[in-house]
Amino acid sequence: MIPKKTNHDQGRLFESRLSEMLDPHNNLRLLADLIEWGQLEEELKVYFDQEKGARGKPIRLVAGVLMLQHMTDISDEQIAVEWEQNPYWQYFCGYDYLEWKFPMHPSSLSRWRKRLGKEGLQKVLQATLKLALATGLVKASSFQSVIVDTTVMPKAVAYPTDARLYYKGLRTLVRKAKQSNLPLRQSYTFLSKRALRKTCQYAHARQMKRAKREMRRLHTYFGRVIRDIERLIQGRKQEEQTFSSLLKICNHVFRQQRTDKDKIYSIHEPEVECIAKGKAHKKYEFGCKASIVLTHKEGLALSVSAEHGRPYDGHTLKASLKLAEELTGRAIKKGFVDRGYKGHQVEGIEIYISGKRGLSEHYKKLLRRRQAIEPHIGHMKSDGRLDRNHLKGKLGDQLHAILCGVGHNLRMVLGWLRQQTRLKTA
């Protein structure tokens, strides 16, 4: 059913309201008062059944918690602790009286993200754009000129090595076999752990022949467990359905070679892609690309989207600009990009690529500002959560990218409010 609303119209006899106790000039409180919560709740209502199910938690509570989480870069479990200790966070989420306990379980946030989906979270991002306009951080004309770039959004996976993948696949198969009560001939749990340890020790000591020998041994254990499970589930439909996806992944890992394409780099996240960005300190990153569109002058995030399949930067340009126009409701006239977008144009939009010659001094100055997107991406990774994505699957990548844009915009609005407060008090 439609989620209930937090109602504090009726006072409490021995408690004071947070609106009467908190600092009226606090920036987070000012931010909470400026967001159009009523309109946001109406837009997100459509993702709930009108009649079936129990009443959910207030939309403002969940939307506010997701905003605070990506503003401050904390986990689902930690946000429950911080929320209980910070009355300004409780006021931001629509509570006018001090609460001693977080009103929902942190695991509910994962279900809420899936319920809202990509479109619902884009409406939250849209609300931050309206907030930026209302506070004066940006003008409507700022949406006409943008900077576009891509970066890697790393997934929360360990650095992949063949030995570790064999070991993880073996342990996952053995664990699932025990849950399904399959009598394996031998689990190789102890032997595989010893082989992995020796592989790492020999590789660290540069004794590569011994390391390869232990890795071949681990590979053999892995193959034996795969074949044993395939024999046990043959002709048993329920078990075949249970193990089908996992066995497909493990067989892929077991057979893949160094020079193969479309390799699997993680057992629990097989969609992870290996992306080389040419960085000296980090040659390869494992995750997916994120396409980011910022306003040219202020650096406000108009759209952040996850791009799967390791696309060439230029192939993402049209879709990214179209999404930014949908969220802002205004046409984009100029786009500034780096050389990764060379050879790609968008109808109706002037695209300026770094290194383009024959430009006037005015446009040269505008094009030089294209580099301003780099520190904004750095802040999204260091201050936000773009540097490590813990959400599962391709849907998790899409949701995480949008929420990183939400957190970036809110941090910018908070910084703007602090600046205005200092100017008033000076």
Identify whether residues 167 and 196 lie together within a single domain: yes
Classify residue 249: in a domain, yes or no. yes
Q: How far apart are CA 287 and CA 270, in angstroms?
A: 10
Q: At 202, list the tokens.
A: 């020999």
The CA distances from residue 14 to 10, 17, 98, 149, in Å, are 13, 10, 12, 54
pLDDT band at 374 (very low <50, low <70, confident <90, very high): very high
User: In the prediction, which pLDDT does 1 show?
Assistant: 64
Identify whether residues 146 and 176 lie together within a single domain: no
Q: How far apart are CA 210 and CA 97, in angstroms?
A: 65
Give the mean pLDDT of 279-287: 86
Classify residue 229: in a domain, yes or no. yes
User: In the prediction, which pLDDT does 56 show?
Assistant: 81
Q: Among 77, 133, 128, which Cα is nearest to 106's?
A: 77
pLDDT band at 47 (very low <50, low <70, confident <90, very high): confident
pLDDT tens digits along 168-207:
999 999 999 999 999 999 999 999 999 999 999 999 999 9
Q: How far apart are CA 339 and CA 402, in angstroms?
A: 25
The yes-or-no verdict on residue 279 having pLDDT over 70 is yes
Show the domain range for 337: 139-158+272-391
Q: Is the full-model pTM beyond 0.85?
A: yes
Identify whether residues 249 and 331 lie together within a single domain: no
Helices 237-255 and 162-179: crossing angle in degrees, nearest 10, is 170
Q: What angle do CA 381, 112, 93 make, to 5 degrees?
A: 75
pLDDT tens digits along 209-252:
999 999 999 999 999 999 999 999 999 999 999 999 999 999 99
Give the mean pLDDT of 360-370: 92
Classify residue 18: in a domain, yes or no. no
312: helix, coil or strand?
coil
Percent of the chain with pLDDT over 70: 99
Classify residue 75: in a domain, yes or no. no
Amino acid present at 339: R
Q: How many domains does the chain have?
A: 2
DSSP string, 316-358: GHHHHHHHHHHHHTS---EEEE-GGGTT--BTTBEEEETT--S
Identify whether residues 289 and 354 lie together within a single domain: yes
Give the mean pLDDT of 21-28: 91
CATH of the domain at 327: 3.30.420
Q: How far apart are CA 110 and CA 99, in angstroms?
A: 22
Classify residue 77: in a domain, yes or no. no
Classify residue 133: in a domain, yes or no. no
Identify whether residues 154 and 284 lie together within a single domain: yes
The yes-or-no verdict on residue 66 having pLDDT over 90 is yes
Q: At 303, list the tokens.
A: 């759209």
Q: How far apart are CA 74 and CA 279, in angstroms?
A: 27
